[in-house]
Chains A and B, each alone.
Chain A
């Protein structure tokens, strides 16, 4: 991990440089970017929690129907984003049983809110996060958890003291992929959270469309380049970490 620190620092410097360029002279409206970053960060946390759970489940050799569960988790990769958004409205919207349960528990609907944008982005990025953490877990030499068990560690202690620390590059890579994917979510967010999910603001991805429709070519360009650079930086760092895991395996 330590060898990656200079690469991380250079990548971060490039991202900051591009952000400064994009914002120079008021050329970029920051609010959609800021909203996208907040949505992507929250979605990343949720997809990490779910992703670790599903990755552990899928690496369990005795899991019945593992291939089917794997296929279900990967469905967001192959579905049109609008269809994913439609399923989210049907399953979590105000007319659904879960949606009514959320309304009863929290006093407000989930759909068409900031949290809906988070859920849409988290579900959309889940396959990438699960895949990356699964690679991380599978790259661990099986003698490590076996040794921990012979040293008196039960399954929970083995997971938190051996498996999770050794899968850290996979977890971090998964978090970065999840963040990058969430940053660019459009279709599912539009369907489940609307074009203005928070304080009447669009996310960065939606703002690009708004600018094009409003004939603001330069603003659309700066927004597009900013989101591209942040996304590429995340994927580059995720690739580096994945390579390290593959070398270790």
Chain B
């Protein structure tokens, strides 16, 4: 039996005439890296888990809370799911400061406490100095830190990362993956991280799921799944 905080999903989506996603997965609290070549269905899977795309069939549940069950007619709208999604382009709102971006998802926090909570999160990710600046003035690494703070501000039950570190240099990527590890260990929620990078998955993941052609081809610990693999784009 999965623990009460596990993400459990079994979804089928016919995305086009010649491509479908048919994936079953269970992610306990901790970091699960979903890996696969371009076009393998990784981002579609994240969109389904977030509720941005509806599967043709299947079920998505987090602990005892069912988000989608097509058989039962259950479809919890995106904004009512307590999740955080860090997009590949980060999607920091350009017309808001870093602080306002972080506060945006904090409706569960009483209004008078929001600013202090958002500031403490920015401090936690090393971005307090950016609080009153807008995203166009951020460097790549600064934007990632603010995006992580915004993701955690929602006290999510599930965190989804869609290759947010792909444009960063190696050192910065290492720093941020370590920060993600720390934050998720504290939050004790499942994090599904889509990545192309085998090195990043080895560094970050508790579990790895490899998908190809919209199907799971291997899953297990990083050592089990990634033994002898240096790149997925072969």
Contact = CB atoms under 8 A, between A and B. Distances in A.
Interface of A: 141, 143-144, 146-154, 161-162, 165-166
A14 B80 CA distance: 52
A23 B79 CA distance: 57
Interface stretch (B15-23, B67-75, B88-96): B88-96
Given A152-B105, A152-B107, A152-B154, A147 B78 contact: no
Contact of A151 (B52, B89, B95, B150): B150
A152 B150 CA distance: 12
A154 B91 contact: no
Nearest to B47: A146
B78 A149 contact: yes
Interface of B: 50, 52, 77-85, 87, 89, 91, 93-95, 104-105, 107-108, 150, 154, 160
Nearest to A158: B79
B228 to A, nearest CB: 36
Q: For chain A, what secondary structure do more than half of its interface residues adopt (helix, strand, loop), or is it mixed? A: helix
Contact of A143 (B78, B82, B91, B160): B91
Nearest to A161: B104
Contacts of A149: 52, 77-79
Contacts of A144: 91, 93-94
Given A146-B91, A148-B93, 12 more contacts: A143-B89, A143-B91, A146-B52, A147-B87, A149-B79, A150-B81, A151-B79, A151-B150, A153-B79, A161-B104, A166-B94, A166-B95
Q: For chain B, what secondary structure do more than half of its interface residues adopt (helix, strand, loop), or is it mixed? A: loop
B115 to A, nearest CB: 17
B93 to A, nearest CB: 6
Nearest to A146: B52
Contacts of B107: 152
A161 to B, nearest CB: 8
B27 to A, nearest CB: 17
Contacts of B150: 151
Contacts of A161: 104
Contacts of B89: 141, 143
21 contacts: A141-B91, A144-B94, A146-B52, A146-B78, A146-B85, A146-B87, A146-B91, A148-B104, A149-B77, A149-B78, A149-B79, A150-B81, A150-B84, A150-B85, A150-B160, A151-B104, A151-B150, A152-B108, A152-B154, A154-B79, A166-B95
A166 B52 CA distance: 21
A147 B91 contact: yes
Nearest to B105: A151
A166 B83 CA distance: 24
Best-buried of A141, A147, A154, A162 by chain B (most CB within 10 Å)? A147
